[in-house]
């Protein structure tokens, strides 16, 4: 498959300005970026548009809308309506949707799923009016209380099926374990808006965080082969958070991503 690479802005934290991030992405050879709420807060939409144009970058994703069950935990407060407008203005490939978790004490799972279904229906209607594609992201089951209560690819496909403008975002951190991941790539690639890449760091038998493709705990060969042999032809977005860097220079990690992925996939 042709490699259409992107890097998500989450890697920056407070250590790297958006202009420096964009410059590093361009220098590494990726053509797109994932935009975060923090990037909007830092630059404003007009500033982002200018910086992206200066660096010849498109927007693979805008992160994140949704949060239907517990309310929005993000410190950068943008409403779902504002994020839809931003996604349309930036011509984002997809607006990421995080469903929200069960909370503590936990909501009954069926009740949480009902809230997600109702919230997604409303969000899809508003996004369709703006020409925006939604990407529902199944979340690792270990994060069911805090982040997301739609956990498998199969359940995600059921949730987005009613909406022409809703697909899945497959994040390897969240879906590497899922037996349905390969089936989704092979048989439902048209329902995948974006694939997000990273490796997974395991400690003491538990998932401890994200890592680079080269440094993580998983052998990604089989998953990468499934991606390569599938009909998916969209962007491959590298998503690492700043706290996953463990002292590494974010610019170097950004620039190394195209090199690391070339060990698995050929342009």
Strand residues in 55-172 grouped as ranges (E) = 58-66, 95-98, 134-136, 166-171
Domain-wise residue ranges, the chain? 5-261
Q: Rounded CA gap, 28 and 104, in Å?
A: 42
Calpha distance 255→158 (Å, rounded): 37
DSSP notation for 211-223: E-TTTSSS--HHH
Query: Residue 1's pLDDT is what?
Result: 60
Q: Where are the beta strands (DSSP E) in the chain?
A: 5-8, 32-36, 58-66, 95-98, 134-136, 166-171, 192-197, 199-203, 206-211, 236-238
Q: Which helix (H) or strand (E) holds 13?
A: none
Tally Cβ neighbours within 10 Å of residue 131. Answer: 11
Predicted local distance difference test score (pLDDT) of residue 15: 87
Closest listed residue to residue 198, CA positions, set 2, 34, 29, 27 = 34
> What's the pLDDT at 77?
85
Q: Which two tokens stand for residue 190?
A: 């048209």
Regarding the domain delimited by 5-261, which CATH topology (the fold level of the hierarchy) does it fall under? TIM Barrel (3.20.20)
Spatial neighbors of 108 by CB under 8 A, at least 6 apart, are none
Instruction: Give me the residue label for tokens 């998953």.
Output: 223
Residue ranges in the chain modelled with pLDDT below 70: 1, 267
Residues whose CB is less than 8 angstroms from the CB of residue 159 and which lie 6 or more positions away in sequence, other chains included = 116, 117, 120, 136, 150, 166
**189: DSSP letter:** G
pLDDT at 69: 96
What CA–CA distance (Å, rounded) separates 166 from 124?
A: 7
pLDDT, residue 172, reads 98
- Name the pTM for this structure: 0.97
Which residues does 106 contact at the CB level (< 8 Å), separation at least 6?
A: 145
Q: What digits encode the pLDDT tens for the residues 222-253?
A: 999 999 999 999 999 999 999 999 999 999 99
């Amino acid at each position: 498959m042709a490699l259409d690479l992107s890097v998500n802005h989450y890697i920056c934290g407070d250590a790297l300005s958006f202009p420096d991030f964009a410059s590093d992405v361009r220098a590494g050879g990726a053509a797109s970026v994932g935009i975060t709420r923090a990037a909007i807060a830092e630059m404003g939409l007009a500033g982002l548009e200018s910086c992206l144009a200066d660096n010849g970058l498109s927007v693979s994703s805008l992160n994140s809308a949704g949060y239907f069950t517990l309310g929005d935990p993000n410190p950068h407060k943008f409403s779902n309506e504002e994020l839809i407008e931003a996604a349309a203005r930036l011509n984002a490939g997809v607006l990421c949707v995080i469903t929200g978790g069960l909370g503590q004490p936990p909501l009954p799972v069926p009740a949480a799923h009902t809230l997600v279904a109702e919230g997604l229906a409303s969000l899809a209607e508003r996004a369709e009016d703006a020409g925006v594609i939604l990407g529902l992201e199944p979340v690792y089951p270990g994060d069911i209380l805090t982040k997301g209560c739609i956990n498998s690819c199969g359940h995600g496909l059921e949730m987005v099926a009613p909406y022409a403008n809703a697909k899945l975002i497959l994040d390897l951190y969240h879906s590497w374990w899922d037996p349905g991941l390969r089936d989704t790539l092979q048989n439902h690639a048209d329902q995948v808006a974006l694939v997000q890449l990273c490796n997974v760091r395991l400690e003491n038998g538990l998932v401890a965080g994200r890592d680079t493709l080269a440094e993580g705990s998983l052998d990604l060969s089989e998953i990468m082969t499934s991606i390569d042999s599938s009909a998916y032809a969209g962007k491959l977005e590298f998503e690492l958070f700043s706290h996953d860097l463990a002292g590494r220079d974010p610019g170097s990690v950004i620039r190394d991503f195209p090199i690391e992925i070339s060990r698995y996939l050929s342009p």
